[in-house]
Amino acid sequence: MSSFRFVAALGGARGKAPRVFASSSRRPSIALRVVAALVALSLGGACGKAPRTNVILVVVDTLRADHSVTSATRAATPALDALAADGVRFTEAFSPIPMTLPAHAALFSARTSREIGVRIDGERLPADVPLLAQWMTQHGYASFAAVSLAALRPQEPGSDLARGFERFEYDPTRECEDAPTMKQRFDALLASRPIDRPLFLFAHMSDPHEPYDAVGAARVKATALLDGRDFATLDLAQYAPVEIELELAPGAHVLTIDAAIGFRLRKCEITAPSGALESRLSSSVSSDGAQHVEAEFALVGASAQRCKVRVWAQQTLTPELAAHRYALEVERVDRTLAEFFAGLRAAGLYDESLIVLTSDHGEALGEQGVVGHVVNLRDEMLRVPLIVKTPKDDPARARLAAHASELVRLTDIAPTVLALLDLPPLPGASGRSLLDGGVRELLAETHTPLAPDELLCLRDLRFKLIYDVARERFEMFDVLVNPQESGDVFAQRGDERAEWQTRLRELGRALTKTRTEPTAETLRALRSLGY
């Protein structure tokens, strides 16, 4: 039986409660199921009605816009270039918040984080906010998903981002999974889709997200000892913790980790049958850069106990090395997407499907001395790729292309999908269909989970105004003239966006009244993922 969670409306009838099921070895082969699906589509679908368009939403987590175009020289991405050639690439697309769960919540609700109250990973999506998957399912779609990052897991089956999906797959034992593994999930979902309904597939990949897996780079090891004896050899580019079960005697124990280079201890958990044990950590770095970490803990009781030790350490990266590894991960994602799209073509699904590819946010790779995301609202964290490929010969492509250089937002994606499918708009959406075009402003925010820092900003194609809520301080950038955002022009030109200042101050006051503290479990999860 698979270790992954599957939620499905068995029988395919609309309105029935979802039920959990596990895959069966007696199912038809993938090839037979794909052929059956294609035959059903060619016959016009259920009840003689014309088949609706299949929708594939690909989100590559933490993918910078300038790493999604080969001509930008950041990374070679021929699969993304080919997808853009078949569709429309929006060059001024932005996320409203540079953090995984809040950004996805905005994408699926077509509302900003401010509107739905989801500001950091680990928070709950309000049950009364309609989500795209719910809407698609209510309008006859089979809604499937596979996600690769722990931040997107529902806190309860069928809740949070999983709400509305008939099948929502993830590995509960891993913080993140690589692109080739996820492609296998996507292929299986495509092959197992119902033959009487169109498919909405949410395909999530997280390779560019920190921790950067050193695909194609030299591997660096660390040695772990438990009470002076060999315990494990740690790959400092590993994508998940090393987990070992062993008998431990009562009393004090010491776990040490040594490496010739600096590293970050992402996870160190010791669990006894009675629960997690507290450990006292200390760290030192020698003059030659070698690092030594000790974790001291004690096991209470009169006899030996079977315990589990989970350790995850990652090499400390310079901005240059981080950028190199990040690009390698992006290129692996692109290779995987090439294979995925080739499979769609082989199954006859590529040309006739609506495919949307985007990211939840970008990533700083040394700009302003920062590597990562969340901590500021610069464009390297907010600008994302957005490619919309309509079905072949769909006249809507020309309407989309007319707005390809306008400022657009993640919150505009769900309204666009529904408009292209000629489905009713999502209730309560503040985003707008990209078929309509028109002037848009970006309202963005970020909330550092481990500190009370909150930033807000408004942006159009000319200016960006950032407001530090706690310090009541503004920064302003002329992004048309200075896209690197290296010169603050607020003192000279702030009056050109005086109305923005009033709006951001009002939003800042509202934030301080509704701020909530993250739970201890949320903080542990965030630290393990680099926040």
Clarify whether residues 264 and 171 are in a common domain.
no
In a domain, 122, yes or no: no
Clarify whether residues 204 and 305 are in a common domain.
no
In a domain, 444, yes or no: no
Clarify whether residues 135 and 229 are in a common domain.
no
Query: From residue 117, how far is each of 114, 126, 128, 145 by CA, in Å?
Result: 5, 8, 12, 23
Clarify whether residues 81 and 36 are in a common domain.
yes
Clarify whether residues 365 and 500 are in a common domain.
no
Clarify whether residues 20 and 168 are in a common domain.
yes
Tally of residues, the chain? 531
Q: Where does a domain end: 375, 392, 409?
A: 392
Rounded to whole angstroms, the Cα distance separating 439 from 408 reads 9
What's residue 20's pLDDT? Answer: 31
Six-digit token pair at 222? 């660390």
Query: Could you tell me if 309 and 226 are in contact, meaning their C-beta atoms sit under 8 angstroms apart?
Result: yes
Clarify whether residues 66 and 148 are in a common domain.
yes
Clarify whether residues 56 and 184 are in a common domain.
yes
In a domain, 110, yes or no: no
**Residue 252: strand pairing partners:** 298
Domain CATH number, residue 80: 3.40.720.10
Digit-by-digit pLDDT tens for the chain (531 residues) are 333 333 333 233 333 333 333 333 334 444 444 444 443 443 333 333 344 899 999 999 999 999 999 887 789 999 999 999 999 999 999 999 999 999 999 999 999 988 998 988 888 999 999 999 999 999 999 999 999 999 999 999 999 999 999 999 999 988 889 999 999 999 999 999 998 999 999 999 999 988 787 777 777 899 999 999 999 999 998 777 899 999 999 999 999 999 999 999 988 999 999 999 999 999 999 999 999 999 999 999 889 999 999 999 988 888 998 999 999 999 999 999 999 999 999 999 999 999 999 999 999 999 988 999 999 999 999 999 999 999 999 999 999 999 999 999 999 999 999 999 999 999 999 999 999 988 999 999 998 765 557 999 999 999 999 999 999 999 999 999 999 999 999 999 999 999 999 999 999 998 765 555 656 665 565 555 555
Phi-psi region of 249 (alpha: psi -120 to 50; beta: other; left: phi over 0): beta
Q: Where does a domain end: 373, 392, 411?
A: 392
Q: Give the Cβ contact number of residue 254 at 10 Å.
A: 14
pTM comes to 0.84
> Which range of residues forms the domain containing residue 43?
7-91+129-212+319-392
Domain CATH number, residue 490: 3.30.1120
In a domain, 114, yes or no: no
Q: Where does a domain end: 279, 296, 315?
A: 315
In a domain, 425, yes or no: no
Clarify whether residues 291 and 385 are in a common domain.
no
Angle of CA points 422, 428, 434, to nearest 5°: 45
In a domain, 240, yes or no: yes
CA nearest neighbour of 312 among 176, 158, 192: 176
DSSP reduced 3-state for 275: strand
CA nearest neighbour of 417 among 405, 508, 429: 429
Q: Kindly state the helix (H) or strand (E) to which residue 357 belongs, with its residue range.
A: strand 354-358
Six-digit token pair at 267? 């996870």
Rounded to whole angstroms, the Cα distance separating 347 from 345 reads 5
Clarify whether residues 246 and 262 are in a common domain.
yes
Query: From residue 268, how far is each of 169, 229, 271, 303, 309 by CA, in Å?
Result: 27, 17, 10, 23, 7
**Residue 267: strand pairing partners:** 312
**Residue 29: strand pairing partners:** none
User: Burial letters for 126-138: b for 16+ Cβ neighbours within 10 Å, e otherwise?
Assistant: eeebbbbbbbbbe
Rounded to whole angstroms, the Cα distance separating 104 from 61 reads 10
Six-digit token pair at 149? 């990052």
Clarify whether residues 142 and 290 are in a common domain.
no
Clarify whether residues 147 and 260 are in a common domain.
no
Q: Is the alpha carbon torsion for 499, 501, 505, 508 positive or negative?
A: positive
Query: How do 221-226 and 229-235 pair as beta strands?
Result: antiparallel
In a domain, 433, yes or no: no
Rounded to whole angstroms, the Cα distance separating 507 from 500 reads 11
In a domain, 243, yes or no: yes
**Residue 83: strand pairing partners:** none
Per the structure, the count of domains in the chain is 3
Six-digit token pair at 339? 């294979």
